Structure 1
Amino acid sequence: MERVSGVSCTVGESPTWNAAEGAWYWVDIPARRVWRMDGASGAARSWDNAEMVACVSAKAGGGLIAGMETGIFSLELGAEPAARAIKLATPVSGLGEGMRFNDGRCDRQGRFWSGTMFMDMGAARPVGQLFRYDAARGISAPFVSELITQNGTAFSPDGRTMYLSDSHPTRRMVWAFDYDIDDGVPGNRRVFADMTSYAGRPDGAAVDADGCYWICGNDGGCVLRFTPDGKLDRRIDVPMLKPSMCAFGGKDLETLLVTSIVSGKPEDAEWGGAVVMLRPGVKGVAETLFGA
C-alpha cells in the first residue's frame, strides 16, 4: 500500500481515473478543491472553487462534470489556481438551504448521476434525491427520494445493474436496481447488502471486471468486496479509520485508489484524510467519459 505524498484532505471523495489523460482526479469537499495526480510521474496539483465540489467525472474533450452545492457544473481546469465553473443544471424543485450534491459518477453510456443530501448529518433528514443529467435532456426528475446520505453509486460492467447506498448511521444500506441502458432508467429496487451486518458504513464504491462491488467501510477502516449476488467475499483493511471512496485505475486498471476523511480521533491522526493506492489483484472497469 502506497500513500500519495503531500496530499491530505479533510473530506477526500470521488476518485476517478481518466485513461485518456493517464491521471487521477478526486476532491476535498469542505476545502472546495479538486485534485489531479499524473499517473506516470505522481505529480499532483489542485484547483480551488467558489463552492464545495462533492463528486466529479471526466468529460469527453477535457475538464470535469461535477455535483456541487447549488447544482451540476462543468469545470474547466487550466493554468490558474481556480477552476472555471459553468452551471449546467439545478433540480427543478431546487436544492433548499443546507443541501448539496454528494456522491456521483457516469453510467456506462456517459450519463451523469448524482444525489443530494442535507449537509448536517446529525439532523438525519430524509430529503436526499437521486438525479440523472445528460446534455440532451438536462436534469431529470428524482428517481429515488427520501435518502439521508446518498452514496455508493456504481454500475455493473455491462451497465445493466445500478447500485446505490445510504451511508447514514441509521440506514447503512446498499440497493441494486435493474438499469435500462437505452433510456437510463433504474427499476426493480432491492436490497443488495445490509451493512448493519458488516464493518463500517457504506460510502463510495467501485465495480471490478468480475462484476464485484467494492464499498468503503467508513468508520470501519476497510474496503469490502461483494459478489454480484450480494455475498461478502473479501475485506481489505486500510490505515485510515474513515475510507470514503475507491476507484480502479492506472494503465492496467489494477490499482485501487482510496480517499479518506479526517475523523479527529487520536488513533487516526497520522492517516486520517490520506489518499492511498494498493494492488488488490483484480482488474477494474474503465469509466465512461461524460458525453462520450
Structure 2
Amino acid sequence: MSTQAELVVDARCGTGESPVWSAAEQALYWVDIPGRALHRWSPDGHRHWTGEEMLACIAPRADAPGQWIAGMESGLFSIEPQDGGTLAATPLAQVAHARPGMRFNDGRCDRQGRFWAGTMLMDMGAGAHVGRLYRHDGYGQLPSLQLEALIVPNGLAFSPDGRTMYLSDSHPSVQAIWAFDYDTATGTPTNRRLFVDMNPLPGRPDGAAVDADGCYWICGNDAGLVHRFTPQGKLDRSLEVPVKKPAMCAFGGPKLDTLFVTSIRPGGDLSDQPLAGGVFALRPGTQGIAEPAFGS
C-alpha cells in the first residue's frame, strides 16, 4: 500500500468539487464551481464542458444515462454534456434563497437515491447564517427544506447502512462535523450531535466520503490533508496531498480502492503549490462504496 498522492489531472480548477466515480464508464467526473464546468477523466483522457451557471454538486440520474442532477446557482438542474464542449441544463426545481448572491454547494445522494444539497452565501467573509440544506426526492417535486442557519454546509455523507447522515460547516467560525440518525424510509435526519470538532485539528472540514468500514474521510482545507475518522469520531489517520486546499474526496477505480481528491486553486503566489486545482489519487488500503444514482 502506498499513500503517496499521485497527480491524476493538472486541471487547475478554481474550486474542484463533487468527484463522482462512474463504474459503467470507469471514469471520474467532477465540477469546477467558478469555471461553470463539468469535468471527466478516464485513462483515455480528460474533457470538460461549460454551462451558463456555476455548478457545485452532481449525481448521476438513474433513469437517464449520461445525464446528471446538479445543484447550481438558482436551483437544481438536469445537465447533459453536448458536442462542442457545452452543457445543456434543464431546470428541475428552483429554490428561494435567503438573500441574493447565494448558490448551491456540497451535495450527494443518500443510499436510497434522494439528492441532498446545501446552499451558501458566496461572500464567505460575511459569515452569514443563511445557508440551508435541502432534500430532493424526485422529479416533479420541490426540494424539501431540512435545515437552516448554516454558513457553508459541506461534508455530506451517509454510513454504509444509510442510517447515519454526516454534515459539516466549513466556515472558520464553525469548523464542526455533525452526525444525525437517518430514517431511510422517510429521508428524515434527527438527533443532531457533534461528531468531530475540527477547531483543534489541522484544516477546515470540507467535502467527504465514507468507506466500506464506515469510516468518514474529509478534506482538511488549508492544511493539505485528508483525515479519516472512525464511526466513533476518533481521528484514525491523515494523508497528505501536495496542495493546501483539498476540497472533496471520492472512492473510485475498478476496485473502489483509490481515493480521488479534488482541490482549489486560489489566487496569488502559487510557487509553493503549482499543482493547486488538480485532482490527486491516494491508495489508502481501504475500499469505498458505490454511490447511488438519483432516483435509484
Normalised TM-score (structure 1)? 0.96
Deviates more, 1:264-273 or 1:81-90: 264-273
Match of 1:178 in 2: 181
Which residue is equivalent to 1:50? 52
Mark the CA change 1:72 to 1:243 in structure 2 (over 3 Å): closer, same or farther.
same
1:11–1:67 CA distance, 2 compared to 1 (3 A) = same
In the TM superposition, residue 248 of structure 1 has moved relative to its aligned partner by 0.3
Q: SS at 2:193's partner residue?
A: strand
Distance 2:97 2:202 in 1: 35
Match of 1:202 among 199, 202, 205: 205
Quote how far apart the aligned CAs of 1:265 are.
4.4
1:256-290 deviations in Å (ceiling 9; x for gaps): 10001113344544121111111111000100011
Q: Indicate conservation of the 8 Å contact 1:126/1:147, yes or no.
A: yes
CA distance in 2, matches of 1:53, 1:236: 28
Distance in structure 2 (CA, Å) of the matches to 1:245 and 1:205: 6
- Secondary structure (helix, strand or coil) at the match of 2:53 reads coil
Aligned to 2:26: 22
Contact 2:21 2:251 in 1 (8 A): yes
2:162 is matched with 159
Cα shift at 1:33: 0.5
Are 1:88 and 2:76 counterparts?
A: no
Q: Find the counterpart in structure 1 of residue 11 from structure 2.
A: 7
- Letter paired with 2:143: S
The one-letter code sitting in structure 2 at the alignment partner of 1:125 is A
Aligned to 1:99: 102
Segment of structure 1 superposing worse, 263-272 or 6-15? 263-272
Distance in 2 between the 1:288 and 1:274 partners? 25
Instruction: Choose between structure 1 and 2 for higher RCO, CA contacts under 8 A separated by at least 6 residues.
Output: 2
Matches within 5 A, 1:272-287: 272-287=276-291
Match of 1:122, SS? helix
Counterpart secondary structure, 2:56: strand
Indicate if the aligned counterparts of 1:246 and 1:257 stay in contact, CA closer than 8 A.
yes
**Kept after mapping to 2: 8 A contact 1:103/1:204:** yes
Assess if the C-alpha contact under 8 Å between 1:131 and 1:139 holds in 2.
Answer: no
The answer to whether the 8 Å contact 1:218/1:241 transfers is yes
Question: What amino acid maps onto 2:207 in structure 1?
Answer: G
Aligned to 2:71: 67
Say whether residues 1:242 and 2:265 are aligned partners. Answer: no
Match of 1:291 among 285, 290, 295: 295
For 1:268 and 1:151, locate their aligned partners in 2 and report how far apart those are by CA, in whole Å.
Answer: 27
Q: Are the aligned partners of 1:47 and 1:81 in contact in 2 as well (CA < 8 Å)?
A: yes
1:141, CA displacement in angstroms? 3.3
CA RMSD in angstroms, aligned pairs only: 1.3
Secondary structure at the counterpart of residue 196 of structure 1: coil
**When the two structures are aligned, how many residues end up with a matched partner?**
289
Q: Measured at CA, do residues 162 and 137 of structure 1 come closer, stay the same or move farther in structure 2, by a change above 3 Å?
A: farther
Pick closer, same or farther for the CA change 1:134–1:5 going to 2, 3 Å: same
- Residue 8 of structure 1: CA displacement? 1.6
Q: 1:42 to 1:96 in 2, by over 3 A?
A: farther
Q: Per the alignment, in what secondary structure is the counterpart of residue 240 of structure 1?
A: coil
Structure 2: stretches of 5+ with no match in the other structure: none
The one-letter amino acid of 2:277's match is G
Q: Does the 8 Å contact 2:92/2:139 carry over to 1?
A: no
Look up the equivalent residue of 2:51 and give its one-letter code: N
Normalised by the length of structure 2, the TM-score is 0.94
My pick for the range that moved more, 202-211 or 135-144, is: 135-144
Helix, strand or coil for the counterpart of 2:144? coil
Shift in Å, 1:138: 2.0
The answer to whether the 8 A contact 2:263-2:276 is kept is yes
